[in-house]
Structure 1
Amino acid sequence: MRVLILRCGPAARALQAPAGAEVLDLPQVPARGDLRVLDDAARAALPEDPTPSLDEIAARPDVRHLGAPGPAPQARFIDDALRVVVVGSDAALSAVLTRAMRADFLWVEFGYVPVDPSPAATNWALPVGAGAFPLALHGAVNPAPLIRSDRGLAVAGSALLEDFSHGEYTGEIIVDDATILFRRDEGASHPPRRGLFGARLVPMTDAPGVAAAVLTTPYSPAETGRGPLARLRGALRPHGEVDEASLRTGRAVQSGGRDILVTVDGVPAKRPVKRATFYRHMRDLQIVRP
C-alpha cells in the first residue's frame, strides 16, 4: 500500500509524522493546484477505471447505490492500494475530498488526523492530534456516504444554511421531497435567541446519508456529546443550538429563500444564494474509522 500524508497548515506541520512516511506539506485549505499530486497518485494506482461510470450509475433503474455504503468496486482491480491521510481541519479534508470527487477517484482510502476537535472527528469517533496517526495509517476502511453540495463541494464534517446577515432565516428547508424541516415567511418573528436561524446538517455513517436539524440560535460555540446518538447531535451543534426534536434524515436537503448563506466545514460562501441543495453522492467515501 502506498500511503501519502498531506499536512495542511501550520498546526498540521507541528505534528510529527511517522518516520519514513511520504509527507507533503500544503496550505491550510489546499487549492486544486496544490492537489495535483493526488491526481498523479490515483492514475498510477489505477490507470483506467473499468467499473461503471457516474453516468452509467445514474442511468440505472434501481437505487442500490443509495443503500448501505459499501466498498469501492475499483478495489479489486488495484494491485497496490493508495491511502491518503489528511492532517488538518475539516476544511482541509473537505478540499481533498472535493478534488477526489470531481476527478472521480473516491475509491482511494482516506485517513484523517484532525488537529483539533471537529464535527468530522466527532461523527466518526476519531482521536485528535498525533494520537490519530495509528488509526489513520493502519486502521480498516469503513465506508460512509459522501454528502456534496450543488456547487460541487464535499462535506467532511458539517454544513450550515443561515441568513447572510445572521438574522432569522427566510425561506423553507426540505429533507428529501416531502419532509419540511421548517418554513418561515417574510415578516414572521419569534422570541429572541430561540427562533429559526436556519439548519445545520452532517453526513451520516449509514443510509440514507444526511441528517439535518433546525438551528434555533445564532452562530455560537457549543459543546459536543458522546455515544452514537450524542455524536450525531454533537456534530450537528458545535456552533449554535439545534432543536433535537426537529432532527430528520434523508438523501438530500434543499432550501429556497432569501439571502441564503451556505457554509461548508467552516468556510462560508462569498455571496448569498436563493437556492441550495446538499445530497448524497453516487460513490461512497472509503474512510478509515472505528
Structure 2
Amino acid sequence: MILPDVQATPDERGVALDEVGIEELRYPLLVADGQGAKRETVATVSMSVTLDARVKGAHLSRFVEVLHAWRDQLAPDTALGLVEDLRGRMGTGRAQVRLQFPYFLERPAPVTGARSFSEYGCALAATATTDSAWLELTVRVPVTSVCPCSKAISDRGAHNQRGYITITARPATDADLWFDELIDVAEASASSPVYALLKRPDERHVTMAGYDNPVFVEDMARNVAVALRADPRIASFRVRVMNDESIHNHAAYALLGWAAAAGSPA
C-alpha cells in the first residue's frame, strides 16, 4: 500500500517560512566533556529548517531521526555534523538545532580534594546554511561574590551572595572550544566557585579566599570580558552577571552585549 506524502505536495500561496520544526522535545544524550568522559544528560531540544514557498510542509519525523542518530556523540565537531545532516535530510537552505541541558563536571574541593559533581546549565545552538556552519555555546555558572563596598565600610565581615555568570560564545572557525573552558573563565572571575561538597578545611578556605577577592557584578562581567577577548578560539561573546543580593530585596546585574574577541577576523 502506497501512502500519500502530503507534506511534499506543492503549495500555491507563495509564502516561504523562516522556521518550521519541533520544540520542547526532551531527549537523552551523551555529551563529551573536557575531562575525557561522556556524561549522560537529558536535553530540551528545538530543531528547525527553512521551508520553500512551493513546499506544503516539513517531514517532522526526520528531525527526531537525525537527533537519535547523533544522540551519543555530542561534541563540537559532531554538533556541526548533526545540523549539516539535518539540513541535507530536509533538503533545505538553512537548519538550526538548539539543545539545552544540565552539564556535570567532577570537581575536587580546594583543600581536601574531596570529589563531587557540580552542575552547570548549558546550551548549544548549531546553524548550517548552504555555505557555512557555526556554533554558539552558552553556560550559566553559579558563583559566590563578596561585596567590596561591604568589606570596605564594615568593622567585621562583609555580605556575600550566590550569583550566576552567563556566557554565550561563538567559537572561531575550526576552534577547539567547549563548555569547560567557559565555565573555568566564569569561576575565575568571581570571588569563589560554588562546590557541591566541602569539608571544614575547604569551607574555611572558600570563605577566606572569597573575602580576599571581593567583586561587584560589574567586576565579574569585566573580568570575563578581559579573559574572552584574549582567547583566539573565540570570535565573539556575550556576558550577563546576576547576584541574588543577600541584604537587599532586589537582584543586581551587569550585561555586556555581543563583543568581538581575538578570534574575530581582522
Please indicate, yes or no, whether the TM-score normalized by the shorter chain is above 0.5: no
- The TM tier, using the shorter chain, reads under 0.3
Question: Could you tell me the TM-score, scaled by structure 1's length?
Answer: 0.24
Greater relative CO (CA pairs within 8 A, separation 6+)? 1
Question: Could you tell me the TM-score, scaled by structure 2's length?
Answer: 0.25
Structure that is richer in strand per residue: 2
